[in-house]
Chains A and B, each alone.
Chain A
Amino acid sequence: MIPMEHYLIVSSIMFFVGLYGFLSRKNLLAILISIELILNSVEINFSVFNRYLFPEHMEGMFFSLFGIAISAAETAVAIAIIINVYRVTQEIDVRHIDKMKY
């Protein structure tokens, strides 16, 4: 059986790759994908903790399920807003969405 730590290492790497992507990507959709990486790493964490440490209850699994549903809703809202940004500005590059930066 694969030790728990290996899963945790993978999920931590996913989390920080997502965080790095959020800060460095220039395209709004790529930023959204980075956020999805973060959310998925959290779901791995919950499932692994539940399976290895507390298998008698299902709380972690439930949290993962709810997390998946909510992240789907988040993606839907975010994509709707990004489409709206594209309609108004013809642009989804964050370097050009700087009307209020200065």
Chain B
Amino acid sequence: MDFSNFLVMRQEIGVIALFVILLIYDIFAAETKAMRYFRPLACILTGAATLLGFLFPGHEAEAFGGMYVTTPVTMLMKNILMLGTFTVFLQAGEWLRKGDVLIREGEFYTITLSTLLGMFLMISAGNFMLLYIGIETASLPAACLAAYNKYKEKSAEAGAKYVLMATLASGVMMFGLSYLYGATGSMYFDDMVPALAVQPMTVLGFVFFFSGLAFKISLVPFHFWAPDVYEGSPTATTAYLSVVSKGAACFVLLITLHHVFGAMTDIWYPMMWVISVLTIIVGNLFAIRQKDIKRFFAYSSVSQAGYIMLGVMQDSPAGLTATIYYVLVYLFSNMAAFGVITAVENATYRTDIAAFDGLSKSNPRLALMMMIALFSLGGIPPLAGFFSKFFIFASAAEAGDYVLVFIALINTVVSLYYYLLIVKAMYINQAADDAVGRIRTDRYNMTSLILCTAGTLITGIASCVYGYIGSVGF
């Protein structure tokens, strides 16, 4: 056997190594003083892995007979997901040091890394079997993360809802894959492409396959799990699900739509058109009436997924670049917002929007960071969110789909309204009498906040970021 194949999948091996190191450290250091160094170790190693990934871009290669495919684009996607995981680790630490979860502190990191491994595999898959295994590896531990606060009723409920819906979605997806296999006789992407023609069986297979992925991205007819799971899960898990898990599924959809189902564009383009419009509108309208901030961000992320679909649909270099750029900017903005939510929740034990009343008086810096993040999500010009929306709309307009761009533009105004509701709570509403004073966040969370806010401010203005993604793409 040729072991040099393994060198190609160095990012996966890096994640596995990280997983094993942390697991062994957790087992042997449990309930001793050495556990104090667990969190710095986990954060530094993950940060180093992210940095190394960005510093050494790889080249195009195949391993295991085409089962595993890696290109500079997929490596960039994985680095972005790794960056998201790194910020989640930075933010999760404070919550993991409290109450009944302390004894399970190490497990959070290892379970999160195993879902990340699944996402890496599904992005690099060259075969639908590996894709399926990757999706399962990503979604089963994610259910455990959702149910992590095991003495809280909401968390248990969120875990049950997530695991049942995820299994149903993967079952539906496998059913679609079985018909695709019946029609083409292979599970390899490259072998399926010539055999895929528009006929009832392949269309049926594609629609079922798409439904399974749409569940992961929480596109509209399949979004019903998202608000409940996001509200009930621990905040760190919510951030992870809304950024990393969603981003990975978007990347997979981007790859499979164009590489495998390229011949069926006439079938999926109208379908995706309707779904993205519905996703944007429904996400926006439901976000307006939310009272809980995590539920609010669930609907906000549903509508953001709709915007990402605008880029995913375009079969052009601009569409690909805009999608990756959008996910990167969305990662920075959303993680900055979740950093503030984590800080407020750790101090007040509340997640309703009213907990943010008068935050600008008691914690001006936290309120400012939250405002920057929200403005970026809404797409206000100097921030990165404006540029990511601009490029996504430009790629859709390039393809001549002006109606879709118009609908999305109108919805951007609606989304500004509800993002401003939180800014209003922070800057205009008076604080209640029992409001907390100055919140002291720990250094890790502060680092993640500074990292994400800097990312939100810089990635838009520094055109080299978009240029870099574009140069990697082609």
Contact = CB atoms under 8 A, between A and B. Distances in A.
Which of B147, B170, B178, B179 is most buried by chain A, counting CB atoms within 10 A of its CB?
A: B178
Interface residues of B, number: 39
B168 interface: yes
Contact of B175 (A38, A54, A87, A89): A38
Contact of B163 (A54, A81, A101): A81
Contacts of A63: 129, 132, 177-178, 181, 187
A78 B163 contact: yes
B114 to A, nearest CB: 12
Nearest to A100: B228
Interface stretch (B52-60, B150-158, B432-440): B150-158
Contacts of A100: 154, 157-158, 227-228, 231-232
A2 interface: no
A73 B136 contact: yes
A59 B167 contact: no
A99 interface: yes
A45 B163 CA distance: 24
Which of A42, A46, A60 is most buried by chain B, counting CB atoms within 10 A of its CB?
A: A42
Given A49-B178, A73-B140, 9 more contacts: A22-B164, A28-B164, A32-B164, A57-B186, A59-B186, A67-B132, A88-B152, A100-B157, A100-B232
**Secondary structure type dominating chain B contacts:** helix
Given A73-B140, A89-B156, A46 B178 contact: yes
Contacts, number: 120
Contacts of B140: 73-74, 77
A97 interface: yes
B125 to A, nearest CB: 13
A17 B21 CA distance: 45
B181 A39 contact: no
Given A66-B133, A100-B154, A15 B175 contact: yes
7 contacts: A41-B175, A42-B171, A60-B178, A74-B170, A78-B143, A100-B154, A100-B158
B171 A60 contact: no
A84 interface: yes
A41 B178 CA distance: 10
A54 B129 contact: no
Interface of B: 129, 132-133, 136, 140, 143-144, 147, 150-154, 156-160, 163-164, 167-168, 170-172, 174-175, 177-179, 181-182, 185-187, 227-228, 231-232
Contacts of A62: 129
B181 A46 contact: yes
A53 B201 CA distance: 14
Nearest to A32: B164
B160 A67 contact: no
Contacts of A54: 185
Contact of B136 (A18, A38, A59, A74): A74
Given A39-B171, A62-B129, A63-B129, A45 B178 contact: yes
Given A81-B147, A88-B152, A100-B228, A35 B157 contact: no
A88 B181 contact: no
B216 to A, nearest CB: 15
B154 A59 contact: no
Given A46-B178, A54-B185, A38 B152 contact: no
B376 to A, nearest CB: 28
